[in-house]
Chains A and B, each alone.
With several copies, the nearest count.
Chain A
Amino acid sequence: MSVSFCGLELAHPIVNGSGTFDAIAAHAAFGEELLRDFPFAAYVSKTITLEPRAGNPPPRLWEASAGLINSIGLPNKGLDGYLRDDLPRLAELCSLARAGAGVPLVTNVMGASATELTRLVAACEARSEIAAIELNVSCPNVETGLDIGADPRQLEEVVRAVRPHTGKPLIVKLTPNTADVALCAQAAEDAGADSVSLINTLRALALAPPTTRGGSDRAGGRSPGRAWLGGATGGLSGPAVRVVALAQVAAVAARVQIPVVGMGGVRSGADARELLDVGARLVAVGTESFLDPAAGGRIARELEAITRV
């Protein structure tokens, strides 16, 4: 099932969705088994920003029908902290992954402007540990991420500005919260992106339950319409969004020539197969890894089994 993606040779088409798998924490929790049976053919870092971010106040999670709403708020050490502390460690883990065969490391970055993104991309360009760069222009929890990604014109500008600063594969992660995602994908391709990835989470809202488990009201008195999440609105992921993702990935793959990384609600090899069947080159697994840290490997095996048939 090996597949080539923007010049990278991957053992299979399954990778992780940015921000859904912390390889450092997972290694601390699961040890060497994680590296031996590393679930992904490439590893995507969570989103890195120029300045350090603490992330949103809790609560950050809400369980929706067949899905999860998150409002994490992109906590990260900032570019310098990432390059200094995390990148070397991640690079080491990636090189040891798959019993030493190693997996490429993709770094996902987000900036509020073309200037910020350019600095982030330039810094990544300078680091040989980084095999590819993913631009997050789609995070619904951060105003700018949304705005840039939802507007084809702005998106094209930003990608054009960034493109010259790296020779590494440049993946643009699109927002699903837009009228015509294929138009955005087209804009990214026209601006020189090597790949587009989608979907990010769908904008969603969860309200604080009027009463908590004990029957007593957390807020002290019913406060109608009070958002549960510290970040107010959040992003929906998981099985609930799978068919929406499938529609958007199909629309994008039909529009652009560059390879597409499809994701959204994938739980099984059959789900991954469907994204590939509508034109994705790679499939990313996010929320399902929360239910099973080894889900990516299981899905890759299931995919191979179906595909051999």
Chain B
Amino acid sequence: MSDRTSARAPFGRRLLSAIGVDELGAYRVLRVADDGPGAEPGQFAMLAAAEDWGGGEEQRPFLARAFSFARQVRGEAHFLLEDVGPGTRRLCELDAGDGLWVVGPLGRGFSAPVAGRRAILLGGGVGIAPLAILQDQLTAAATTVLLGFRDGARAEGAALLDGARVASDDGSVGHHGRVTDLLAEELARDRNAIVYACGPAAMLESVRAMCAERDVPAQLALEAGMACGFGACFGCVVARRGGGYLRVCVDGPVLDAHELERVDEHAGAPV
């Protein structure tokens, strides 16, 4: 994991093939045979099925879809999928050997924790994906993992990381309430930490606010509707503190909490 210089993507989309799609509670883990460059934790790829992408009543999906690298192991890239629409649905239905158009790794990932600070990995819903690959590479630093989910089926996603404290909105698993309650506890216990967060906009916004208040550094992995993923369309913006906009795909997806006034409602993972 580097300091804000991230892995470079091969130019042009690559045709890779799916190894398989495994269930993980309410989520799916898509495994892709990927001989490409290693991804920085927090980087993403634009994915589209090579066959049967679009059509039907909606005549969608048309564009590729953005997904965080959840893990990279021996020539495999793993992506954590939540079926929220036609694109994710199609990707969840990929069979072993099916072709996949891939552009990436793209964007700027998480940066290394300041020495001596505990790394708190805080994820909500499918937003836990980039924290898994982050944990894989944070071997050195002491880490605390806090994950929040809507319900029990989604909470099974926690298996993607080691030693997670879990919260669920419906109380079916772990703490009955928000994962940010757990963050409050942890920071109350020891503030000498850096927070790496990814999840719904509302969650990211309270993480931003809490960390600002307690003056704890925080890196937020944002989301935004994307057409290209490499800075071409200027479509994926969020408001930057002090005016103007940032392109989530090239200025992020990981942004330092200080770069934002607040986290826009559109800038988070599927709720």
Chain A residues near B (Cβ < 8 Å): 19-22, 24-26, 28-31, 33-34, 37, 46, 54-55, 57-68, 70, 72, 75, 212-214, 216, 218, 238-240, 267-268, 287, 289-294, 297-298
Contact = CB atoms under 8 A, between A and B. Distances in A.
A65 B57 CA distance: 9
B227 A70 contact: yes
A291 B224 contact: no
Interface of B: 8-13, 48, 54, 57-64, 84-85, 101, 103, 106, 150, 224-239, 243-245, 247, 250, 264-267, 270-271
B151 to A, nearest CB: 11
B231 A22 contact: yes
B233 A290 contact: yes
- By Cβ-Cβ distance, the 6 closest A-B pairs, closest first, are A25-B231, A294-B12, A65-B59, A214-B271, A33-B11, A290-B228
A223 to B, nearest CB: 14
A58 B54 contact: no
Contact of B9 (A22, A29, A289): A29
Given A58-B264, A60-B235, A25 B230 contact: yes
Tell me if B's interface is mostly helix, strand, loop or mixed.
loop
A153 B270 CA distance: 49
A70 B235 contact: yes
Given A30-B11, A33-B10, A238-B62, A75 B245 contact: yes
Contacts of B234: 19, 22, 46, 55, 60, 72, 75
Contacts of B228: 289-290, 293
A146 B115 CA distance: 55
A294 B230 contact: no
B55 to A, nearest CB: 8
Contact of B233 (A20, A54, A67): A20
The residue in A30, A37, A291 that gathers the most chain B C-beta atoms within 10 A of its C-beta is: A291
B230 A30 contact: yes
Contacts of A298: 12
Contact of A29 (B235, B237, B239, B250): B250
B11 A291 contact: no
A292 B101 contact: yes
B184 to A, nearest CB: 24
B109 to A, nearest CB: 13
Contact of A293 (B12, B48, B224, B226): B12
A160 B222 CA distance: 47
B227 A61 contact: yes
25 contacts: A19-B234, A25-B230, A25-B247, A26-B232, A29-B231, A29-B250, A30-B10, A30-B11, A33-B10, A55-B245, A59-B266, A60-B236, A61-B233, A62-B225, A68-B63, A70-B233, A267-B57, A268-B57, A290-B232, A290-B233, A292-B101, A293-B13, A293-B228, A293-B230, A294-B13
Contact of B103 (A54, A61, A70, A292): A292
B104 to A, nearest CB: 9
B244 A54 contact: yes
Contacts of A68: 62-63, 227
A286 to B, nearest CB: 9
A68 B236 CA distance: 13
Contact of A213 (B84, B232, B250): B84
A19 B270 CA distance: 28
A210 B60 CA distance: 18
Given A29-B8, A61-B225, 15 more contacts: A25-B230, A54-B244, A59-B225, A61-B235, A62-B225, A63-B63, A67-B62, A212-B271, A213-B84, A213-B270, A218-B266, A289-B232, A290-B228, A291-B13, A294-B13
A21 to B, nearest CB: 5
The residue in B57, B106, B225, B228 that gathers the most chain A C-beta atoms within 10 A of its C-beta is: B228
A213 B62 CA distance: 18
Nearest to A65: B59
A218 B62 contact: no
A60 B237 contact: yes
Nearest to B226: A61
Contacts of B13: 291-294
